[in-house]
């Protein structure tokens, strides 16, 4: 079935007990045992499994074309479960411009635990090859990346990983399963911050790991989910599942809007660079055109001048909201270097946009007045 159909139906069925068309939220933390001690419905305790969480896992597994999925209370918890399923002494290759929180997780939390990480430019195959070590067990790819919208060739990274005897995991948060299928391109695992496009309404945190095979490594991820306990609440799962129903239509509209905004910014005299993989002169455009259906709702641009000029533009917007995060129905603008803090490699004159579902003319008018203002 096609993604629009899966988004509405996968993991859901009419409730057999009541006929309810909308899936119920199973808030119960515990489930009755039969007289013989068995669990007739296969649920025992909500941290281990819960019907609402299972519905979300089934749905996202179907959307990514995987064999199994595990849901978490945040995107960070989902990624952490993958890292914790490795062993102390293992080596990970991750992108320089990895989602900042995950880069810090690797270097501040997991390095002391014994996980080694090399940060490399993952859009450059030669650099990845050079970073491979005998103990490399995972190559983590994030494409498009944050905030420069760099593109990595997933099939190529996966091939390098497999030659090295390592797994390839892809943070697919920016692209979503609507635009990109990392598992079909050779990745072993896909991770999403469902906080972003998948839930889509800026009202629930969550994460998911989807695996191509329900193999021993995924079983470790599942064990980490249950034993470390960063599981999402049934209500959060329900909200996320509700958001998924419109995911394909939201993401396509956001991609169309972002393309128009990118074209406007590229033609503006006060914009010195526009980073959007849909623009033909973007260095990753060709690979993006091959591995993505459209180019997504995220873009960034650099304002003539420095941090002060960029901040001044962000200060003048009226329709965009100055806030972090992305993937919601409303458009957001963010000065990344200042939120990333010391050590950030992000250019100080860069502003990142999460383009929402407003009319593109209104978004462009807002950016136009903000760029042209005093
Ligand atoms: C937001 C985000 C994360 C982290 O997700 P949380 O739900 O905030 O923990 C990871 N990767 C990317 C690309 C993100 O945008």
pLDDT class for 76, splitting at 50, 70, 90?
very high
Q: Residue 33: give the domain boundaries.
A: 3-244
In ligand 1, the atom with minimum distance to the C-alpha of 146 is: 13
Q: Which of 190, 214, 244 is the last residue of a domain?
A: 244
Catalytic residue among 12, 47, 220, 316: 47
**pLDDT tens digits for 119-129?**
999 989 999 99
- Give one DSSP letter per residue of 261-310, joined into a string: HHHHHHT-TTEEEEE-TTSTTSTTHHHHHHH-SS--SEEEEEESS-HHHH
pLDDT for position 220? 98
Claim to verify: residue 181 and residue 287 sit in the same structural domain: no
Instruction: Please state, as a whole number, how many other Cβ atoms lie within 10 Å of the Cβ of residue 243.
Output: 24
User: Is residue 193 domain-shared with residue 285, that is, in the same domain?
Assistant: no
Q: Based on the domain organization, do 173 and 280 belong to the same domain?
A: no
Pocket of ligand 1 (CB under 6 A): 74-76, 99, 101-102, 142, 146, 171, 173-174, 193, 195-196, 205, 207
Q: Looking at the structure, tell me whether residues 206 and 269 fall in a common domain.
A: no
Q: Residue 357: name the closest of 260, 280, 264 by CA.
A: 260
Atom of ligand 1 nearest to the CA of 77: 9
Active-site residue (options: 196, 212, 250, 352): 196
Quick one: 220 and 304 in the same domain? no
For the domain that residue 177 is a member of, what is the CATH number?
Answer: 3.40.640.10
Report how many domains make up the chain. Answer: 2
Reported pTM: 0.97
pLDDT at 243: 98
Atom of ligand 1 nearest to the CA of 79: 10
Q: What is the pLDDT of residues 82-126, one digit of tens each?
A: 999 999 999 999 999 899 999 999 999 999 999 999 999 998 999
Per-residue pLDDT, 374: 55
Q: Which residue among 244, 271, 290 closes a domain?
A: 244
């Amino acid at each position: 079935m096609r993604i629009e159909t899966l988004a509405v139906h996968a993991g859901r069925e009419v409730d057999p007990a009541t006929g309810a068309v909308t899936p119920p939220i199973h808030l119960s933390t515990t489930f009755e045992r039969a007289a013989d001690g068995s669990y007739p419905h296969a649920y025992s305790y909500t941290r281990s499994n819960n019907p609402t969480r299972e519905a979300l896992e089934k749905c996202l597994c179907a959307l990514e074309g995987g064999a199994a999925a595990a849901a978490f209370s945040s995107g960070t918890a989902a990624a952490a479960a993958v890292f914790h399923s490795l062993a102390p002494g293992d080596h990970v290759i991750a992108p320089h411009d990895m989602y900042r929180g995950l880069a810090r997780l690797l270097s501040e939390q997991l390095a002391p635990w014994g996980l080694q990480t090399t940060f490399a430019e993952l859009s450059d195959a030669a650099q990845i090859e050079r970073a491979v070590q005998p103990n490399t067990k995972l190559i983590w790819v994030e494409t498009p990346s944050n905030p420069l919208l760099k593109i990595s060739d997933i099939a190529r990274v996966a091939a390098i990983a497999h030659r090295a005897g390592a797994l390839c995991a892809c943070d697919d948060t920016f692209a979503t399963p609507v635009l990109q299928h990392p598992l079909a391109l050779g990745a072993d695992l896909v991770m999403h911050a469902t906080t972003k496009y998948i839930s889509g309404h800026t009202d629930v945190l969550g994460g998911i790991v989807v695996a191509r095979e329900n193999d021993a490594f995924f079983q470790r991820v599942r064990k980490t989910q249950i034993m470390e306990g960063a599981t999402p609440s049934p209500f959060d799962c329900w909200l996320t599942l509700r958001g998924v129903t419109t995911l394909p239509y939201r993401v396509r509209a956001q991609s169309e809007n972002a393309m128009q905004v990118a074209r406007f910014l590229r033609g503006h005299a006060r914009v010195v660079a526009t980073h959007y993989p849909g623009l033909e002169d973007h260095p990753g455009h060709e690979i993006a055109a091959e591995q993505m259906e459209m180019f997504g709702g995220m873009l960034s641009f650099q304002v003539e001048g420095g941090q002060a000029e960029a901040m001044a533009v962000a200060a003048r917007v009226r329709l965009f909201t100055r806030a972090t995060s992305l993937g919601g129905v409303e458009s957001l603008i963010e000065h990344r270097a200042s939120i990333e803090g010391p050590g950030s490699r992000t250019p100080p004159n860069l502003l990142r946009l999460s383009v929402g579902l407003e009319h593109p003319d209104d978004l462009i008018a807002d950016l136009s007045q903000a760029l042209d203002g005093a």
